Amino acid sequence: MAAARTALLVTALADRLRGLSCVAVGATSPLPAAAALLARARAEAVGDRLQTIVLGSRQHNPFTDGGRELFDCAAQGRIDAFFLSGGQIDGAGNVNLVGTGDYPALTHRFPGSFGSAYLAFLVPSVILYREEHSRRVLVPRVDFVSAPGTSAPGTYRPGGPTALVTGRCAFAFDRARGRFTLTSLHPGETLESVREHTGFDFQLPEGEGRAGTAAIPTTPAPTTADLWLLRERIAGEVAETYPRFAALIAAV
């Protein structure tokens, strides 16, 4: 992943944390860790405070009650946002972190569901992300539902997906309809290129209809201040947990 694209994805994820009080980042999530730490630095710069919890870190994780504490906090509503990626993500917001094939007879195994089967229900804003935007990843229907995008009426579910950020574009998740809406295109992408590489149907912004891509916004580029923060501060902050990724951030 080129440094410029990394910076764009990190800032696009950080943009979705504006105004929140507490964000948590799970294991093996370098992009969200950088985004959460960037959002914290942005908040500090204007006198606000964003509590940032990076699992796997000792410097950026205040928890003292073991692995359970994140989940207990989430169930109480103390966590405003969390990030989830997926080996497969479908148009209904379902995430598959387990594998492809006819479970349990999988043809390809992913690491596992982590906390997704729980946090996707309880955290108000679950931000989905995946750098690879292809029909291999963005599928019509996931092979295994680690976390469903929506739930039947009557299911306790204060949380759920709110957005999906990929290497090509950003979507918002329409919880009522259980569908994604394209909200911005990264530089160099068009509606056609996104459609070509997306295995599910999605909605266009209100009023877009068949008008083409002219009015679909471009994903905002990182500001000079963002890039400075990423190089001078965030690279150092993520290095403890993600040494390889930190080198990429230092080069933006």
Residues of this chain that interact with another protein (CB under 8 A) are: 27-28, 30, 55-56, 58, 63-69, 71, 75, 97-99, 103-122, 144-148, 151-152, 154-156, 242-245
Per-residue exposure over 97-127, b if at least 16 CB sit within 10 Å of its own CB, e if not: bbbbeeeeeeeeebeebbbbebbbbbbebbb
Query: Would you say 156 or 209 has its CB closer to another protein?
Result: 156
Residue 99 or 222: the one with the smaller Cβ distance to another protein is: 99
- Tell the smallest beta-carbon distance from residue 104 to another protein (Å): 7
- Of the pair 153, 188, the CB lying nearest another protein is at 153
CA distance linking residue 90 with residue 141, whole number of Å: 5
What minimum distance in Å lies between the beta carbon of 157 and another protein? 8
Instruction: State the virtual CA torsion across 122, 31, 146, 138 in degrees, nearest 10.
Output: 120
Smallest separation, CB 38 to another protein (Å) = 19
C-alpha dihedral, 50 to 15 to 239 to 169, nearest 10°:
150
Structure tokens given for 51: 């509590």
**Closer to another protein at the Cβ: 104 or 188?**
104
For the CB of residue 63, give the shortest distance to another protein in the complex, in Å: 7
Residue (112 or 187) nearer to another protein, CB:
112
DSSP per position, 12-55: HHHHTTTT-SEEEE-TT-HHHHHHHHHHHHHHHHTT---EEEET
Phi, psi of 138 (to 5 degrees): -95, 90
Question: Closest distance between another protein and the C-beta of residue 42, in Å?
Answer: 25
Query: Is the CB of residue 230 less than 8 Å from the CB of residue 3?
Result: no
For the bound state, the minimum distance from the C-beta of residue 118 to another protein, rounded and expressed in Å, comes to 4
Pick 187 or 243: Cβ nearer another protein = 243
